[in-house]
Amino acid sequence: MKLEIVGEEVIKPASPTSEHLRTAQLPLSGHLVPPVYVAAVFFYNTEEEIAALTLKKSLSLTLNRFYPLSGRIRGASINCNDEGVVFTQAKTDCLLSDFLRNPNLDSVKQFLPSDFTTSGDPPEKWPLLHVKLTLFRSRGMAVSVCVSHKVCDAASLAMFIHGWTSTAKGHSDSASPEFAAPTFFPTPDPSLDSPISDEIFDVGKPCVKKRFVFDASKIVELKKRAASIQVSNPTCVEAISGLVWRCARKVSGKTTPLVMTQAMDLRRRIPSTHLPHNTIGNLVFAFFLKAGPEEKIEIQEIVANSRKAKEGVNEMIKENLGGVRLGEKMRNEMVNYTKEITGEVDVYNITSWCGMKFYEADFGWGNPEWVVPGAVYPRKIDDVGVILMDAKDGEGIEAFVSLIEQDMSAFEQDQDLLAFASPNPTVLI
């Protein structure tokens, strides 16, 4: 597939940001993570001729409410200087129907914006948001949205997308986001400073990314297999995560301990009286499970251990709710967590984007036919792990798995996996 860039410009907020809003502090989690970008690519089967104009005009209006995204990182804060976001236009000679008939995740990378982490520019010059519109031949388009993980997590990305699509359709009642993350997560003091080095994402070899789809009926079967006395009714995410990690561990040739980390959206666990659910920021906590390279762990045990770890986090939240105690407690726990995963271990990151309603991203020309989660890492080397996302039908789940090539060759032939998942089926339009 050939893709040609036909234009690039900077989009600024429709109105200048007020002086008293010109500085926004980064929360602890934003300070700790390296310069990773979170991205999503939306594919639409449409002939909308004014798509670029609609997207740019509504984006400018949306930035009035999401004003930090048009600023730049400056130390431990965001300089909300309205410098703007980058909007790139491209075209391809490929037909959307051909692309979706046999979706290629390597080709999806071409729809993502440029990787500013390799541009040579210092981080304070990198845009926090980059949008790319690609038009297919004859019909169809891809809209990709890439945002700095220091400022946004996946839930924040979803809130921005929903706010943008609402504005594009002329709705004036779009809720304004809250930038209250730094209030909840105190800025770290130097003695606790332990940023996650981007080395943790460098597995030494380029990764291969593959897609596996779990239909609703197969998820029901998998949940039964994952059930145990400790967890009689696993969630869909728990069951699939347990299966994927077990299969990935089986094919790994590593001799160091293996760690599964799983991100948790704090908005779903902390009462809105303490943390508004429309808060923008990197508001994730994580738990991890560690196992030796020779340890054999069944899905039921993985699920039970995951549930126990999550309940431990819930209990910690309950015990420390009130004032700044919870933020300080989680700050300390997060710093300790970063130390645990930067030692002599191999890390598998599992993230769930389920329930974030990405398939409701309608700019006025209908819902997307397919949504692909993505990320841009330093040095263009992916981490190993998986992102789970709701399928278009709202009942199945798609798993986007990234492993080093030799491990993926064995992983995609694992019979335990194939008993529940279909490898890269056609996307129907």
Q: How would DSSP label each residue in 251-281?
A: H----S-EEEEEEEEGGGTS-TTTS-TTB-S
SS (H, E, C) 84-106: CEEEEEEEECCCHHHHHHCCCHH
pLDDT single digits (tens) 266-291: 888 888 888 888 888 888 888 888 88
Domain hosting 211: range is: 190-356+378-423
Are residues 156 and 196 located together in one domain of the fold? no
pLDDT value at 426 more than 80: yes
Are residues 68 and 203 located together in one domain of the fold? no
Tell me which residues are annotated as active site: 149, 362
Helix (H) or strand (E) holding 159: helix 154-168
Residue 226 lies in a domain: yes
Percent of residues, the chain, with pLDDT higher than 70: 85
| CATH number for the domain that contains residue 292 | 3.30.559.10
pLDDT band, residue 350 (cuts 50/70/90): very high
Closest CA to 387 of 354, 344, 424: 354
Residue where one domain finishes, among candidates 166, 182, 198: 182
- Look over the chain and give the mean of its residue pLDDT values, rounded to a whole number: 86
Q: How many domains does the chain have?
A: 2
Per-residue confidence (pLDDT) for residue 292, from 0 to 100? 75
pLDDT single digits (tens) 197-237: 555 555 556 788 999 999 999 999 999 999 999 999 999 99
Are residues 244 and 222 located together in one domain of the fold? yes
What value does the mean pLDDT take over residues 376-394?
A: 78
pLDDT single digits (tens) 72-131: 988 778 899 999 999 999 999 999 999 999 998 888 989 988 766 666 676 677 899 999
Per-residue confidence (pLDDT) for residue 378, from 0 to 100? 58
Per-residue confidence (pLDDT) for residue 192, from 0 to 100? 46
Pairing of strands 385-390, 346-352: parallel
Are residues 141 and 229 located together in one domain of the fold? no
Q: By mean pLDDT, which of 15-29, 127-141, 312-326, 365-379 is the weakest?
A: 312-326
Query: What is the rounded distance in angstroms from the CA atom of residue 105 to the CA atom of residue 94?
Result: 15
Are residues 267 and 119 located together in one domain of the fold? no
Are residues 126 and 199 located together in one domain of the fold? no
Query: What is the rounded distance in angstroms from the CA atom of residue 140 to the CA atom of residue 414?
Result: 35
Contact 34, 94 (CB under 8 A): no
pLDDT value at 424 more than 90: yes
Helices (H), 296-427: 299-320, 325-340, 405-411, 415-418
Whole-model pTM? 0.93
